[in-house]
């Protein structure tokens, strides 16, 4: 061996699925300076299955490090377009012993960060559903920090702008990359506070200015969560004004619709109107038609999206491969109950008369409010995370109520009060046919909607989404072709969110890769063991550094916050 190797890393002997949707082909992939070089192999018998001859052995001599990918698929690193991982990496071990300055979270925090990487995700996009860790006016930051301390179960901070968020993450070593949308709910709370009223003109101008600054610094787009307070307090016009700012930056309007249940079609029309009036591209988050009144409604929403696309509108969506969702227990209560934030909510829950009002609102509905429990029932809502009540985790609210001989709303209310308003739930609200229809839509990409926070039994999607699509929906059910599924996880996602030079395997692209066994890949995470790593994901490469080898983290931390 003489001189410097041509490549820092060579992924040798695999079948390349390049993320564009094109057919798989045998090729080696070289990495130098964090960028890819594709080295086609002839597909004669023996070369893909591993004879160390010809071009293969020559290229091995040219590399400082080799990953053996014989019998495996080599694809671009997965882009998780929908996460709530904004703060999890900032939760260091107790006492902040890794120098990150984190104060809580401990081993579970570390395990949470790892789960995404082990399933092959090389870029996470957070700031979804209207909730991000920035921006805010300086005078609102302390109050926002207090709320995030409750929401994330630790001191993860709140930042004036994207640059502040990126700087905080920049101080914490991470394995994969992170990009963030600007959350409309955060923006609203960061100017008005968490109050139930329209924004005044000056406040809307301030929101637009904060959004503009963060988008200019590199945030990925604007997100809304119009079922969640305080985003739900905004009318359509307010969101149009903000989406116009996103449009000026050429960045998408990403929305958790105002209703994903009985009024999902109306909510979709509102999103379409916002996109049309503002000029921003539309991306519908975790598209679903949930609750018994909306089951089967994807037979109407998907043709509507297809029709808009055929007419030239830039509209896409994402989906996770499960029939259960996960959110905050507080979101099961009517919007007025959350007016003023978590402290105001728990104060109201202490008042029996207010509880009765909430009980009636759930039974009768409130115009413009999704009302998950009214669409399903407390027997479909199970407790995921309630740190002070580990024995409640995994049980449904209906079961807890039956065991206590109490009314379900009182059980939910008592739990919320005892947990300072922060309880995560899993909502078994969808049917498989709808999930499959959305997965198969040619403009649907994959997003986990993972909500990593310490403790409890989070939804298994944070650890299982991508291997589940590849194992269950590609290999077992044949719903998607392999190349098509990989495209949804990589190239399609990178194009939507402006991840230039990512999501594809081609000469000069960023060296973010996954090596997986198409015969073995499968999710192992379940509702009872939600963080179990998947099977069949052998290696993960971020920026040319191997972060996972033989299914285990290597300890390399090449990840960073991406300014887009």
**21 CB-contact burial (10 Å; exposed 0-12 / middle 13-18 / buried 19+):** middle
3-state secondary structure of 531: coil
User: Residue 360 contacts by C-beta under 8 Å, 6 or more apart in sequence?
Assistant: none
Give the Cα separation of 342 and 345 in Å (integer).
5
Which of 213, 167, 216, 218 is CA-nearest to residue 190? 213
Region of 124-132, 232-240, 274-282, 485-493 interacting with Zn ion (CB under 5 A): 124-132
**Least distance from Zn ion to the Cβ atom of residue 129, Å:** 3
Tell me whether residue 328 or residue 562 sits nearer to Zn ion (CB atom).
Answer: 328
Least distance to Zn ion, CB of residue 256, Å: 4
Residue 16 vs 319, nearer CB to Zn ion: 319
* Stretch of 135-143, 251-259, 276-284, 432-440 contacting Zn ion, by CB under 5 A: 251-259
Q: Applying CB under 5 A, does 258 fall inside the site for Zn ion?
A: no
CB of 476 to Zn ion, least distance (A): 27
Binding of Zn ion by 256 (CB under 5 A): yes
The reply on whether position 561 binds Zn ion by CB under 5 A is no
**31 versus 219: smaller Cβ distance to Zn ion:** 219
**Closest CB to Zn ion among 213 and 385?**
385
Polymer length in residues for the chain: 564
Site for Zn ion contains 264 (CB under 5 A): no
Residue 284 or 362: the one with the smaller Cβ distance to Zn ion is 284
Residue 298's beta-bridge partner residues?
none
# residues near Zn ion by CB under 5 A: 2
Q: Which stretch binds Zn ion (CB under 5 A): 69-77, 110-118, 128-136, 156-164?
A: 128-136
Minimum distance between the CB of residue 428 and Zn ion, rounded to whole angstroms? 16
Q: How many Å separate Cα 124 from the centre of its chain?
A: 7
Min dist CB 90 to Zn ion, Å, is: 21
Which residue matches tokens 């107790």?
94
139 C-beta neighbours (distance < 10 Å), count: 9
* CB contact at 8 A, 318 and 256: no
Environment class of 1 (CB within 10 Å of its CB; exposed 0-12, middle 13-18, buried 19+): exposed
What distances in angstroms separate CA 422 from CA 6, 55, 168, one per listed residue? 53, 57, 24
Beta carbon of residue 128, minimum distance to Zn ion (angstroms, whole number): 6
Q: What is the CA radius of gyration of the chain?
A: 23
Q: How far is the CB of 507 from Zn ion (least distance, A)?
A: 37
Of residues 129 and 319, the one with the C-beta less far from Zn ion: 129
Q: Which of residues 176-195 bind Zn ion (CB under 5 A)?
A: none
Instruction: Rule CB under 5 A: say whether 129 interacts with Zn ion.
Output: yes
Name the residue nearer to Zn ion (CB basis): 213 or 439: 439
End-to-end CA distance of the chain: 41
Could you tell me which residues are beta bridge partners of residue 318? 445
Binding site for Zn ion (CB under 5 A): 129, 256
């Amino acid at each position: 061996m003489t001189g410097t190797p041509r490549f820092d890393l060579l992924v040798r002997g695999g079948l390349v699925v390049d993320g564009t949707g094109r057919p798989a082909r045998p090729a080696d992939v070289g990495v130098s300076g964090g960028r890819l070089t594709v080295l086609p192999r002839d597909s004669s018998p023996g070369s893909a299955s591993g004879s160390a001859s010809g071009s293969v052995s020559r290229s091995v001599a040219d590399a400082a490090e080799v990953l053996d990918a014989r019998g495996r698929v080599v694809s671009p690193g997965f882009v998780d377009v929908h996460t709530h991982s904004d703060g999890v990496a900032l939760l260091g071990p107790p006492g902040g012993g890794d120098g990150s300055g984190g104060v809580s979270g401990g081993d579970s925090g570390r395990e949470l960060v790892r789960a995404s990487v082990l399933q092959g995700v090389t870029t996470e996009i957070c700031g979804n559903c209207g909730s991000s860790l920035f921006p805010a006016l300086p005078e609102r930051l302390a109050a926002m920090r207090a709320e995030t301390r409750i929401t994330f179960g630790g001191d993860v901070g709140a930042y004036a702008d994207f640059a502040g968020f990126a700087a905080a993450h920049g101080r914490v070593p991470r394995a994969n990359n992170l990009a963030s949308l600007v959350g409309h709910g955060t923006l609203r709370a960061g100017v008005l506070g968490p109050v139930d009223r329209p924004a005044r003109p000056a406040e809307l101008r301030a929101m637009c200015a904060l959004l503009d600054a963060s988008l200019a610094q590199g945030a990925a787009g604007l997100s809304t969560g119009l079922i969640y307070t305080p985003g739900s307090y905004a009318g359509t016009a307010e969101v149009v004004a903000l989406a116009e700012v996103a449009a000026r930056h050429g960045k998408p309007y990403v929305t958790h619709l105002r209703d994903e249940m009985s009024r999902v079609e109306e909510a979709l029309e509102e999103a379409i109107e916002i996109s049309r009036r503002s000029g921003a591209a539309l991306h519908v988050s975790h598209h679903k038609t949930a609750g018994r009144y909306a089951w089967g409604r994807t037979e109407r929403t998907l043709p509507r999206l297809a029709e808009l696309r055929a007419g030239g509108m830039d509209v896409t969506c994402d989906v996770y491969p499960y029939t259960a969702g996960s959110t905050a227990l507080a979101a099961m209560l009517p919007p007025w109950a959350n007016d003023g934030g978590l402290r105001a909510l728990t104060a109201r829950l202490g008042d029996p008369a207010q509880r009765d009002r909430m009980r009636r609102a759930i039974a009768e509905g409130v115009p413009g409010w999704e009302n998950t429990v009214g669409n399903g029932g407390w027997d479909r809502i199970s407790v995921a995370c309630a740190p002070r009540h580990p024995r409640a985790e995994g049980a449904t609210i209906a079961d807890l109520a039956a065991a206590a001989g109490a009314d379900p709303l009182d059980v939910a209310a008592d739990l919320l009060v005892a947990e300072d308003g922060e309880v995560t739930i899993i909502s078994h609200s969808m049917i498989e046919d709808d999930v499959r229809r959305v997965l198969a839509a040619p403009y649907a990409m994959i997003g986990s909607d993972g909500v990593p926070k310490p403790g409890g039994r989070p939804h298994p999607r944070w650890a299982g989404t991508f291997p589940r699509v590849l194992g269950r929906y590609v290999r077992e059910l044949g719903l998607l072709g392999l190349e098509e599924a990989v495209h949804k996880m990589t190239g399609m996602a990178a194009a939507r969110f402006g991840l230039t030079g990512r999501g594809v395997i081609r000469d000069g692209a960023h060296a973010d890769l996954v090596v997986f066994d198409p015969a073995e890949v499968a999710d192992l995470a379940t509702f009872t063991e939600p963080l179990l790593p998947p099977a069949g994901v052998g290696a993960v490469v971020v920026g040319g550094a191997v972060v996972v080898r033989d299914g285990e983290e290597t300890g390399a931390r090449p990840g960073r916050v991406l300014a887009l």
